[in-house]
Chain A
Amino acid sequence: GAGVSQSPSNKVTEKGKDVELRCDPISGHTALYWYRQSLGQGLEFLIYFQGNSAPDKSGLPSDRFSAERTGGSVSTLTIQRTQQEDSAVYLCASSSNRGKETQYFGPGTRLLVL
């Protein structure tokens, strides 16, 4: 079946602008995760959605970052007033509801803030 998809694949924006990144998880997966991969910080967890539970936002680096998951499926990560240090590859992953299940990753969105 279809894997995790993300859009756009690349995004170039100017410092101070807002950006929205989209993630379509694997159909039927109730858990959805956002990570960030950057040169200086490696792979970092950002936020985690599980079903109808309150999301785990413990990895969000600042209040400029937020995410929504509508209808238990598609998720949007929003970065407001982008800064150059936000430049990174933003990865989305999903997994099924069962414990210890594998997370499947999308191809990522490469964000460049000029």
Chain B
Amino acid sequence: GNSVTQMEGPVTLSEEAFLTINCTYTATGYPSLFWYVQYPGEGLQLLLKATKADDKGSNKGFEATYRKETTSFHLEKGSVQVSDSAVYFCALSHNTDKLIFGTGTRLQVFP
């Protein structure tokens, strides 16, 4: 069946460090891929998405590229800020079908 695997956290970084959170998926066909973020005390927000192979999603300095050959959608940011501290969820879906989430990765950025 369909599934998403992402690296366990917490990921602890200093401000301005480079961030990578790995995400790989197993799915039939060509799912859409998403990164959602949950800031402390807030609800889930879409961070970025990609709907087909080789697409790059980007938002707020974060990027992820849909790699079908490696079934991956790794999240990257060149220079993290304290305000990026949150839990990040990788997810997939087929059209308007349900989202299948990874377990989430907590990012902690210290000044």
Contact = CB atoms under 8 A, between A and B. Distances in A.
A16 B55 CA distance: 49
Contacts, number: 52
A56 B45 contact: no
Interface string A44-60: 01001010000010010
A12 interface: no
Given A100-B51, A106-B43, A107-B43, A35 B99 contact: yes
Contact of B104 (A42, A100, A105): A42
A107 B43 CA distance: 5
Q: How large is the interface on B (under 10, 10 to 19, 20 to 34, 35 or more residues)?
A: 20 to 34
Contacts of A104: 46
A63 interface: no
A99 to B, nearest CB: 4
A42 B96 contact: no
